[in-house]
């Protein structure tokens, strides 16, 4: 009964509750789909035995009438989340074989609510990338192909043709959700790492407000920007997952002590009377006409659902990305100082301890990670700290003020495109100039700099048949409005018809 992988998370939850199928059947259908899809490289570790064990517990709970909110729902976990006793590497060679003796708060809460773990998902090394090409496990294949593309499954479990990237850094999460290899996945977003891959794969992804989800047990990249969130196939599915993932945590001092609303109830709330802002600074020179059209269409959908559309101004938008490329590497260089070959992970011996550090880090980190650690080291070094780091943090204050001014005018949410283009080919971007790849996050990174919530919702296809998405940006801790408005876009655009499994042999 392979159709079980085609259910939405909400449908699967209701079907389990009604005992139309068991959690074990649901887990088995996904395990089989994962086996058929290894060529996509979405999972870096499959945990079928764990999944079946958790599914058996779920079935017992359901039979006893004690089903928890996510009872029996099979999920994938980004390899950035520490999972107790299950190898967690952040897709870096420096953490090869690392077996955490603890569980991240976010995943702990998912298991507390009855979810089932299918395995660990690929991502850019330490979440640094926008295409999943920096992973030590190799790139992920986007299940979407351009119309008329020559990409196909070849013999011996290989793919022929120049395939597309799924975006990054949560590329494995997005690809697995789009290819129906799980009903939802955990992801993290530092500059766009949930929303951009969701946009590239026709899935829904929400980055909650900074502080909504605990960062405890998530491998740190840039601590003032990192935030966990779900990727799933519908707005409702994301709402269901976020409710379990979010909430106060005494182990993370930056995690907000706020009650978690019933996000699913907000999904059908509508947008009547809401004021939606369209920021003029997001209208970039040379923006593809298709994206421009999609954006206007999105505004029209919200308007016909009863929202008021107003033009707004966020004057410091263009400085968000350059400021990010100071703040994020600075924090990364500090966070990644812990990989020294002493307490965990790789060790390459040297003449003395300094040489051991240097050799270990040279061998363990990939090129993008080294680049960012070095930029971060430079902007924090004596003589450059004020010129770079302090200036970038001042600009961050200005970016946040822009948003505060717009919200003070009574704007409830802001509508923008999610990405400047659809998915691109593997190897197409960033090989000569790293900045070319960084530009992918131009619409998403402002949200992290200001600590706001943002959701990417698929809104249509481009002329090549690839998905494009719109982004909604909310007020701090008002994810509910994003779910309500996101639902309007999902309904108006029509649910994405995901690719058939051309990769399965």
Partner 1 sequence: MTVDLDTVRRIARLARIAVSDEELPHLRGELNAILSFVEQLNEVDVSGVEPMTSVTPMTMKKRRDVVTDGGYPELIVKNAPATEDNFFLVPKVVE
- Write out the binding residues for partner 1, residues 431-460 only, by CB under 8 A: 433-435, 438, 449-451
Q: Give the binding range for partner 1 (CB under 8 A) out of 154-162, 297-305, 364-372, 455-463.
A: 364-372
Q: Give the binding range for partner 1 (CB under 8 A) out of 56-64, 271-279, 312-320, 453-461.
A: 312-320
Number of residues that bind partner 1 (CB under 8 A): 72
313 binds partner 1 (CB under 8 A): no
How far is residue 438 CA from its own chain's centroid? 16
CA distance 372 to 283: 29
Tell me if residue 214 is catalytic: no
Identity of the residue, 179 or 373, whose beta carbon is nearer to partner 1 in the bound complex: 373
Chain residues 415-434 in contact with partner 1, contact rule CB under 8 A: 433-434
Q: Tell the smallest beta-carbon distance from residue 158 to partner 1 (Å).
A: 31
405 binds partner 1 (CB under 8 A): no
How many degrees, rounded to 5, is the angle at CA 279 between CA 273 and CA 280? 130
Q: Tell the smallest beta-carbon distance from residue 495 to partner 1 (Å).
A: 33
The dihedral sign for the CA sequence 438, 289, 176, 239: positive
Asked if residues 228 and 188 have their Cβ atoms less than 8 Å apart, the reply is: yes
301 binds partner 1 (CB under 8 A): no
Chain residues 323-362 in contact with partner 1, contact rule CB under 8 A: 323, 325-326, 333, 337, 340-347, 349-350, 352-359, 361-362
21 binds partner 1 (CB under 8 A): no
CA distance 19 to 22: 6
Q: Tell the smallest beta-carbon distance from residue 397 to partner 1 (Å).
A: 5
Torsion of CA 451, 455, 461, 464, to 10 degrees: 40
Which of 104, 130, 169, 173 is catalytic? The answer is 169
CA distance 40 to 153: 10
Q: Give the binding range for partner 1 (CB under 8 A) out of 30-38, 318-326, 454-462, 483-491.
A: 318-326
Tell me if residue 78 is catalytic: yes
Identity of the residue, 21 or 319, whose beta carbon is nearer to partner 1 in the bound complex: 319
The helix, strand and coil proportions of the chain, stated in percent and rounded to the nearest 5, come to 40, 15, 45
Helix (H, G, I), strand (E, B) or coil at 336: helix
The dihedral sign for the CA sequence 191, 193, 199, 205: negative
Tell me if residue 223 is catalytic: no
Identity of the residue, 149 or 224, whose beta carbon is nearer to partner 1 in the bound complex: 224
Chain residues 207-226 in contact with partner 1, contact rule CB under 8 A: 209-211, 224
Q: Count Cα atoms within 13 angstroms, Cβ side, for 37.
A: 31
Name the β-bridge partners of 1.
none
Q: Tell the smallest beta-carbon distance from residue 362 to partner 1 (Å).
A: 4
Which of 22, 131, 135, 193 is catalytic? The answer is 193
**Sequence-distant (≥ 6) Cβ neighbours of residue 7 within 8 angstroms:** 15, 183
Q: Tell the smallest beta-carbon distance from residue 474 to partner 1 (Å).
A: 13
Helix (H, G, I), strand (E, B) or coil at 119: strand
**Sequence-distant (≥ 6) Cβ neighbours of residue 384 within 8 angstroms:** 378
Query: Which residue in 321, 495, 476, 308 sits closest to 403, CA to CA?
Result: 476
Q: Give the binding range for partner 1 (CB under 8 A) out of 91-99, 107-115, 304-312, 487-495.
A: 91-99
Choice from 476, 486, 499, 501 touching partner 1 (CB under 8 A): 476
38 binds partner 1 (CB under 8 A): no
Which of 22, 28, 78, 214 is catalytic? The answer is 78
Name the β-bridge partners of 76.
119, 185
Q: Give the binding range for partner 1 (CB under 8 A) out of 22-30, 98-106, 259-267, 293-301.
A: 98-106
CA distance 201 to 192: 14
259 binds partner 1 (CB under 8 A): no
As annotated, the active-site residues are: 78, 169, 193
């Amino acid at each position: 009964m392979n159709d079980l992988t085609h259910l939405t998370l909400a449908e699967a939850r209701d079907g389990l509750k009604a005992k139309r199928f068991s959690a074990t059947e649901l887990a088995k259908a996904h395990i089989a789909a994962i086996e058929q899809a290894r060529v996509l490289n979405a999972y870096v570790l499959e945990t079928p035995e764990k999944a079946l064990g958790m599914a058996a517990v779920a079935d017992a709970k359901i039979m006893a009438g004690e089903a928890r909110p996510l009872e029996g729902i099979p999920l994938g976990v980004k390899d950035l989340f520490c999972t107790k006793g299950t190898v967690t590497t952040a897709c870096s060679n420096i953490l090869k074989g690392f077996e955490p003796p603890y569980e991240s708060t976010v995943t702990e809460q998912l298991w507390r609510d009855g979810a089932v773990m299918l395995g660990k998902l690929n991502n850019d090394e330490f979440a640094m990338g926008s295409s999943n090409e920096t992973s030590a496990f190799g790139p992920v294949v986007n299940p979407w192909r351009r119309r008329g593309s020559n990409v196909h499954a070849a013999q011996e479990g290989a793919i022929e043709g120049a395939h597309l990237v799924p975006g990054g850094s949560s590329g494995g999460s997005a690809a697995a959700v789009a290819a129906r290899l799980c009903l939802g996945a955990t992801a993290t977003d530092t500059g766009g790492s949930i929303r951009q891959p969701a946009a590239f794969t026709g899935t829904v992804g929400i980055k909650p407000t900074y502080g909504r989800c605990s960062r405890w047990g998530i491998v740190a990249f840039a601590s003032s920007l990192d935030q966990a969130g779900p990727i799933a196939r519908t707005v409702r599915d994301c709402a269901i997952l976020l409710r379990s993932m979010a909430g106060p945590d005494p182990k993370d001092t930056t995690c907000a002590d706020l009650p978690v609303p019933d996000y699913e109830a907000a999904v059908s709330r509508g947008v009547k009377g809401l004021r939606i802002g369209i920021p003029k600074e997001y209208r970039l020179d040379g923006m593809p006409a298709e994206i421009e059209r999609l954006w206007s269409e999105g505004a029209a959908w919200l308007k016909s659902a009863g929202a008021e559309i107003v033009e707004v101004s966020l004057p410091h938008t263009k400085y968000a990305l350059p400021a990010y490329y100071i703040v994020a590497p600075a924090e990364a260089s500090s966070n990644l100082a812990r990989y020294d070959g002493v307490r965990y992970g790789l060790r390459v011996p040297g003449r003395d301890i300094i040489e051991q550090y240097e050799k270990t880090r040279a061998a363990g980190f990939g090129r993008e990670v080294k680049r960012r650690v070095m930029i971060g080291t430079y902007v924090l070094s004596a003589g450059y700290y004020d010129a770079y780091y302090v200036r970038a943090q001042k600009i961050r204050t200005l970016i946040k003020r822009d948003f505060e001014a717009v919200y003070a005018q009574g704007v409830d949410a802001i509508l923008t495109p999610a990405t400047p283009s659809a998915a691109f080919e593997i190897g197409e971007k960033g090989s000569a100039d790293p900045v070319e790849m960084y530009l992918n996050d131009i619409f998403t990174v402002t949200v992290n700099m200001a600590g706001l919530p943002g959701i990417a919702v698929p809104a249509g296809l481009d002329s090549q048949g690839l998905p494009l998405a719109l982004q909604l940006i909310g007020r701090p801790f008002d994810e509910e409005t994003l779910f309500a408005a996101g639902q309007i876009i999902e309904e108006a655009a029509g649910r994405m018809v995901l690719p058939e499994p051309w990769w399965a042999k």
